[in-house]
């Protein structure tokens, strides 16, 4: 099993952050199914202020390319992603319009 960690920022507005949190307390079933279909076994998102940190544990079939293809073919996932851009912003140092960015592991015990 492989683990990926990613980061993303939210627009720094308390009301928008709360809306984003509320959506993630009740993620659409189609989005959850797409996540599972791509080979993600476990996904957890943490938040501090407007910074998000995601941990993904994936199986041997997972690739970001495969996930992208599955997501592109799912209209509800595309609707979700479009909606989430209302709350998200690219993290400093990322490419324009890039959402979640991979983080480098610098320590492990």
* CA separation for the pair 7, 91 (Å, rounded): 8
Q: Is residue 108 part of a domain?
A: no
Question: Of 50, 57, 41, 45, nearest to 2 (Cα)?
Answer: 57
| pLDDT tens per residue, range 13-23 | 999 999 999 99
CATH code at 90? 3.30.70.100
Please state the domain count of the chain: 1
Q: Is residue 107 part of a domain?
A: no
Q: Give the structural domain span for 66.
A: 2-102
Q: Is the pLDDT of residue 44 over 90?
A: yes
* CA separation for the pair 96, 62 (Å, rounded): 25
Query: Residue 97's pLDDT is what?
Result: 79
Q: Is residue 29 part of a domain?
A: yes
pTM: 0.91
Q: Is residue 8 part of a domain?
A: yes
Q: Is the pLDDT of residue 96 over 90?
A: no
């Amino acid at each position: 099993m492989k683990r990926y960690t990613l980061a993303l920022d939210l627009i720094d507005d308390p009301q928008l952050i709360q809306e984003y949190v509320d959506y993630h307390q009740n993620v659409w079933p189609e989005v959850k199914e797409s996540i599972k279909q791509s080979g993600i076994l476990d996904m957890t998102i943490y938040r501090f202020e407007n910074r998000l940190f995601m941990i993904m544990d994936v199986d041997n079939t997972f690739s970001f390319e495969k996930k992208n293809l599955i997501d592109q073919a799912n209209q509800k996932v595309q609707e979700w992603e479009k909606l989430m851009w209302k709350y998200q912003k690219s993290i400093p140092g990322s490419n324009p319009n890039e959402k979640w960015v991979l983080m480098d592991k610098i320590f492990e015990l």
